[in-house]
Amino acid sequence: MTTTDQKPAFNLNMHTHRLLHDEPFFAALSRRIDKRACTSVPTAGVRVTDEGRFEMVYNPDFLSRMVEECGEVKENRDNPYRWVRGILMHEFYHLIYGHVTTRLPEEGMSKIWNFATDLAINTHIPDELPPLALVPGRAQFAEFPPGLSAEAYLKLLKDQQDEEDDKSDEGDNGGSSDDSDDSDGGGSGQPGDSEGSSPGSDAQTLDDHSGWGEGQGTTDNIAQERMKDMIKKAAEEAGKKGWGSVSSDMRQTIMDSITTKVDWKKVLRSFVKASQKAARRSTVKRINRRFPYIHAGKRADRVARVAISIDQSGSVSTSMLKAFFSELEQLAKYAEFVVVPFDTEVNEDLVYTWKKGEKKKWERVMCGGTCFNAPTEYVNSQKLDGHIVLTDMCASKPIPSKCRRMWMTDSYGATQPYFKTSEKVLEITTGD
């Protein structure tokens, strides 16, 4: 073979650069992960180094073959790099899910745990992967539903394995004993170790999972903190450039992984109680107990009045509203709540005072964009002691509020708000 006939060396950088156009989130994550060609690895894989860094190792011959085979498929001829892109996303999902560090079942690593993690990932990118990939609803796993966690797939695989073992035992009882020497198949008895009794016995994982969970505790902790920071920075870039193929459910999962959970109910209670204190006013008719006849006393109104501005752009879900007003039921003794629906304006005819025990049908009463100035201007024109805004935070920063203001939103709005503010921004969790 002449020099001109030699196949060019596989260039992984070309493929990672391609992510910039279609997958901004994964492109941002890729830049923060070390990559190393390694012919001793049969396919590709991710792991934690001794320094607590994340590394992707890959066999260039394997990825080069994926490009060739992908291009031979009719629907992929215009995009022969599709499978390599899918493999890259697959590896990065392992890191996002924490499969590489401490997320292991009690029995540790096993073949079916490898299967389970791949099934959990590939359910999100089924059309980006080569036929050898394990995908729920396909081939040996045709009866497995999509969208489950690795732990859920592990249970399904174990149940499937138990059924196959029971059938095997029935066959042994009714058959000849001549083949008894071969019945063990050399297996160790561990889940998934025996090819003959394991679910999908002819299936293979797409990538290499060796080295998972072998890091020292300190190293894994360092790696997890680094991964959290990497995901946070990648999510920030995705918020500006787009998330590509990442579904809304997966986006929520990603944001949850980097969000420190705060008990929003406790914070809401503290805010309402503080608003009640703000409703107290000076009066000479009441004696100041600490400084009698020197300073005026304080008189508390019966309850505070707190505005609840609800974004009508479709960003506030019914489940969020129900969870929020259910909590307000418990706080009604401290305040009455003035509900202010808004989009780009406030229709005063739709404003109402909500009190404990009143039933409301949670539905949109306005339709339009979002402008936070509209409810702020309305609240500023009223005598109110606090202001809570329910929204996705996707609009320009509003004018200052004359009373204390707090923002309540979903996970994405709490971590990726459209504007920066020193005011409290709180995520409402509904348990859905």
Three-state SS at 415: helix
Judge contact between 53 and 102, C-beta under 8 A: no
pLDDT surpasses 50 at 2: no
Single pTM value for the model: 0.58
Query: Which secondary structure element, helix H or strand E, spans residue 253, and what is its range?
Result: helix 248-258
Q: Taking the domains of the chain in order of start, what are their residue ranges?
A: 3-171+190-258, 264-427
Q: Identity (one letter) of the amino acid at 222? A: I
Identify residue 401 by its one-letter amino acid code: S
pLDDT at 179 over 70: no
Architecture of the structural domain at 264-427: 3-Layer(aba) Sandwich (3.40)
Partners of 408 in beta bridges: 390, 426
Residue of 55, 54, 66 whose CA lies nearest to 10: 66
pLDDT of residue 187 exceeding 50: no
How far apart (Å, rounded) are the C-alpha atoms in residues 122 and 347? 47
The confidence score (pLDDT) of residue 144 equals: 93
Tokens read off for 41: 């690895």
* Cβ neighbours for 424, distance < 8 A, ≥ 6 positions apart: 267, 271, 406, 407
Q: At 119, is the pLDDT very low, low, confident or very high (cuts 50, 70, 90)?
A: very high
For tokens 């309402």, name the residue. Answer: 272
3-state secondary structure of 387: strand
**With 80 as the cut, is the pLDDT of residue 160 above it?**
yes
